[in-house]
């Protein structure tokens, strides 16, 4: 099977990039008889994904190529890759697939919180036509059962759940390894997007500090302070807890990546977190600064609670592997 992948996300430092890289590497690792072609527009450097994944580049950037494709239906992704049997689109974006395709939808943030996006980004999503793209797909995948239910209710589309794998764990950051941060700290990981709730996290941290919290707040992510995988693993391992006060999430990978290190989390009370972490995290109402401040004080001041939640969270994280995700997605690609 010759599989083409719209891999433009590899140019970004966001969660979709981690998802695309992790799942594509697992697909190539587990299905070496197939041919894996990943299209990345432009000339910006991209790290190799896997020895069996061929990166196909183009001198033109994505805006020109995919904007034309979405409006004029050419060039197709299949043509840019020299012909493929099936395509995988790791996220909705302007594209003309040119072959049967499987589409992954992580959330509906542009529909549910359009105020978080610039005028260009809103126009970009209109051109992408995510709902029509989903309805034209041979199969659609969602990261969680909560997201699959949302797609069914909002778009009338049935999605198969293919959850991301979780990187990290004790082998990536051995116990006792020095963390590149303050001695006691809470950790926020995410892009500078309003829906991630960084403003809520910083306001709650200030309020908790005024009430006696003895921990700093370390903030990293796209548009903030970028860190590589090794530093991120060390930050996860050394944190008292991860703070994820998102207003909207389709899966919540950061909290599970922390869980793989035995690090607990304080998260918004959203369906995806109830599904992935259940009682292995403290949950607070989205946007509630005072509730988050109380949760931070409680978790930072209770060693036994952190240990119990961290152990439970690690058990939850073990259910999410890239190999499992690759098997599920490969079956859909083969059927398509």
pLDDT in tens, 133-161: 999 999 999 999 999 999 999 999 999 99
Measured between alpha carbons, how far is 129 from 173 in angstroms, rounded to an integer?
41
Enumerate the domain spans of the chain.
Answer: 2-165+321-335, 185-317
Q: Is pLDDT of 296 > 90?
A: yes
The answer, yes or no, to whether residue 72 has pLDDT greater than 80, is no
For domain 185-317, the CATH architecture is: 3-Layer(aba) Sandwich (3.40)
Look at residue 223 in the predicted model and tell me its pLDDT. 81
Give the residues across from 105 on adjacent strands. 142
Q: Tell me, yes or no, if the two domains 2-165+321-335 and 185-317 fold the same way.
A: yes
Mean pLDDT computed over 12-41:
94
Is the distance from CB of 168 to CB of 257 less than 8 angstroms?
yes
Q: State the average pLDDT over residues 70-88.
A: 92
Helix (H) / strand (E) containing 69: helix 62-72
For residue 103, give both structure tokens.
């589409």
Whether the Cβ atoms of residue 227 and residue 188 lie closer than 8 Å to each other: no
pLDDT score at 14: 82
- Quote the radius of gyration of the chain (alpha carbons, Å): 20
Per-residue confidence (pLDDT) for residue 178, from 0 to 100? 43
Instruction: Give the model's pLDDT for residue 191.
Output: 87
Q: What is the pTM of this model?
A: 0.93
Quote the Cα angle for 253-282-248, to 5°.
45
Q: Can you tell me the mean pLDDT for 46-74? A: 86
Q: What is the pLDDT of residue 177?
A: 45
Residues in the chain: 336
pLDDT, average across residues 53-80: 86
The CATH homologous superfamily of the domain defined by 2-165+321-335: Glycogen Phosphorylase B; (3.40.50.2000)
């Amino acid at each position: 099977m010759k599989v083409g992948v719209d891999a433009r996300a590899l140019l970004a430092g966001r969660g979709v990039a981690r998802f695309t890289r992790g799942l594509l590497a697992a697909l190539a690792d587990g299905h070496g008889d197939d041919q894996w072609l990943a299209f990345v527009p432009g000339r910006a450097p991209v790290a190799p994904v896997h020895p069996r994944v061929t990166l196909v580049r183009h001198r033109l950037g994505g805006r020109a190529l995919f904007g034309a494709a979405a409006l004029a239906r050419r060039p197709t992704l299949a043509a840019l890759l020299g012909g493929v049997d099936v395509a995988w689109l790791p996220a909705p974006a302007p594209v003309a697939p040119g072959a049967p395709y499987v589409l992954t939808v992580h959330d509906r943030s542009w529909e549910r919180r359009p105020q978080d996006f610039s005028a260009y980004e809103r126009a970009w999503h209109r051109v992408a036509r995510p709902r029509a793209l989903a309805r034209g797909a041979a199969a659609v995948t969602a990261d969680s059962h909560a997201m699959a239910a949302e797609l069914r209710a909002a778009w009338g589309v049935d999605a198969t759940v293919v959850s991301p794998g979780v990187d990290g764990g004790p082998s990536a950051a051995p116990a006792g390894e020095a963390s590149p941060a303050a001695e006691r700290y809470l950790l926020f990981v995410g892009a500078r997007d309003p829906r991630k709730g960084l403003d809520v996290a910083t306001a709650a941290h200030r309020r908790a500090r005024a009430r006696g919290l003895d921990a700093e707040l370390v903030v990293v992510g796209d548009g903030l302070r970028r860190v590589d995988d090794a530093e991120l693993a060390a930050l996860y391992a050394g944190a008292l807890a991860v703070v994820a006060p998102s207003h909207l999430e389709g899966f919540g990978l950061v909290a599970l990546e922390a869980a793989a290190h035995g690090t607990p989390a304080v998260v918004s009370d959203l369906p995806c977190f109830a599904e992935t972490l259940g009682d292995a995290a403290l949950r607070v109402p989205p946007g509630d600064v005072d509730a988050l401040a109380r949760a931070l004080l409680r978790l930072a001041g209770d060693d036994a609670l952190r240990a119990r939640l961290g152990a439970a969270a690690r058990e939850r994280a073990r259910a999410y592997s890239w190999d499992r995700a690759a098997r599920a997605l490969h079956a859909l690609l083969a059927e398509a």
